[in-house]
Amino acid sequence: MKNEQYYTIKEVAKTLKVAYLTVYRWIQNDKLKAYKTGKQYRIKNNDLKIFLKERG
């Protein structure tokens, strides 16, 4: 089994230099795939790469 890397919304926002709410809206609008664990979202590294490639 492969060990996947997951990020929080805060980590993605900091990496991409955008606001927390921007990343949250991408998730809500189905632009960025995320997994909800309890009350928090986690974004898989591969899904983030796909999102960035599509944004181009």
Sketch the domain layout of the chain as residue ranges.
6-55
CATH fold for domain 6-55? Arc Repressor Mutant, subunit A (1.10.10)
Q: 8-17, long-range: CB within 8 Å, 24+ apart, which pairs?
A: 8/40, 8/41, 8/42, 8/43, 9/34, 9/40, 9/41, 9/43, 12/43, 12/48
Each residue's pLDDT tens digit, 1-56 = 578 899 999 999 999 999 999 999 999 999 999 999 999 999 999 999 999 999 88
- Per the CB < 8 A criterion, the answer to whether 2 and 8 are in contact is no
Give the pLDDT confidence score for residue 56 in this predicted structure: 80
